[in-house]
Amino acid sequence: MLLKSIQRNSFGVIFLVLIAIGLVWTNTLLGNFPTYRFLFDSFPMPLYKPIADFLGKHQLWSNLLSLFLFLISGFYLLNLNTKHIITKSRNYFPLIFFLFFSAAFIPIQRLNPGIFSLPFILLSIDHLLSIYQKQNALDNIFRAGLSIGIATLFYPSAVVVAVWAVIALLVLRAFRPREMFVLFVSFTVPWLLYMSYLFIINDDIWAPYHTLIVNLFTEQKSDVDQLLPILFFSFMAITLWVSILNVFPRLTFQKIVIRRYFSVLLYLMLIGVASFLLIPGITYDFFYIISIPTAYILSSYFNEAKSNFWNELLLWLPILGAVLIQIILII
């Protein structure tokens, strides 16, 4: 049974996970799927633009780089679970759910600013989770804000994470104006440095801000089939809803730190979903960010789930959804 095998945390599981990643990305690496265009292709942020210009004509190398960043982010996700003990068991569930929730959707299996921002967002989450009951947390807060600021210079939608960071700070610690000020200042540091560079070379210092606004609030007319994400996430939503209904009532019996960790993760997921639905410029590449809290919530449920027919079915649903998308696009 797949559920019991993953719970055992055996070496064979990571081997199967790597095979699954290879299968999910194979057609993209071979160039069998069309390259879907998004608004960031026309209005790239300043840190993403030189990368896109350099690799834009080399599809294979750009896809390989995207896969590499995806793998780095996935294993960083596992490391965060080990470091902060977010879930009780140390296994590969977070990586598996991260894989099927984000990269299984073909249109974002390409060079895109979302995947470049992902390591910086994970770094900010790492620093924010480290501040709970820490006497002097200013260093971690500064690094978290700095990471989010850098992420937004790659990917405009990452500004949503800055809103979440304020909420996370309030959940994890008592309100301290100085810490809020440090978070805000550190977020603006990368922007101020880049705007200073533009000032020195006599360029428009407000250009990155205008690019950010255009990317966030321009309605995108993507050539992506609108039915595909609905189909896939209908599979994922059932498993996620069952996990939320089971995980959060059980948190009453967990340590306070675990309850607060899952609270901030739930806020990140809810803010991410609301932003995807309400902000016109946020599209499917934002699933990389939403997949982070989703992976931990699903992992917490399946770590303690009994190996029976219904739990096996819930585990297979997102996998089947991902496979179905591959088949539809090939046909």
- The pLDDT tens digits for 69-117 are 988 998 899 999 999 989 887 788 888 888 877 766 667 777 889 999 9
Phi-psi region of 9 (alpha: psi -120 to 50; beta: other; left: phi over 0): left
The answer to whether the CB of 25 falls within 8 A of the CB of 109 is yes
Q: Report the half-sphere exposure of 95 (CA within 13 A, side-chain side).
A: 26
Residue 219 has pLDDT above 80, yes or no: no
Calculate ∠ Cα 272-87-255, nearest 5°: 100
For 232, the token pair is: 């896939």
Mean pLDDT score, 287-298: 92
Question: Given the structure tokens 């599209």, which residue do they identify?
Answer: 283
For 244, the token pair is: 């939320």
pLDDT, tens digit, for every residue of 261-275? 999 999 999 999 999
- State whether residue 168 is helix, strand or coil: helix
Residue 171 has pLDDT above 90, yes or no: yes
Report the distance separating Cα 144 and Cα 287, nearest Å.
21
Mean pLDDT score, 239-254: 89
Report the pLDDT value the prediction gives residue 55, as an integer from 0 to 100.
85
pLDDT band at residue 239 using 50, 70 and 90 as cut-offs = confident
Q: Can you state the angle between helices 113-129 and 256-278, rounded to 10 degrees?
A: 150
Report the distance separating Cα 157 and Cα 281, nearest Å.
8
Which of these, 190, 124, 185, 106, lies nearest to 160 by C-alpha position? 124
Element spanning 111, H or E: none
Phi-psi region of 85 (alpha: psi -120 to 50; beta: other; left: phi over 0): left
The answer to whether the CB of 5 falls within 8 A of the CB of 12 is yes
The type of residue at 202 is: N
The answer to whether the CB of 80 falls within 8 A of the CB of 123 is no
pTM: 0.91
Residue 154 has pLDDT above 90, yes or no: yes
Backbone angles phi, psi at 97, to 5 degrees: -70, -35
Q: State in Å, rounded, how far the first CA of the chain is from the last one.
A: 30
For 101, the token pair is: 């929730």
For 268, the token pair is: 């990140």
Report the distance separating Cα 239 and Cα 298, nearest Å.
8
Element spanning 18, H or E: helix 11-29
Residue 326's contacts (CB-CB under 8 Å, 6 or more residues apart) are 24, 27, 104, 106
Report the distance separating Cα 120 and Cα 131, nearest Å.
17
Report the pLDDT value the prediction gives residue 222, as an integer from 0 to 100.
55
The answer to whether the CB of 134 falls within 8 A of the CB of 238 is no
Backbone angles phi, psi at 244, to 5 degrees: -60, -45
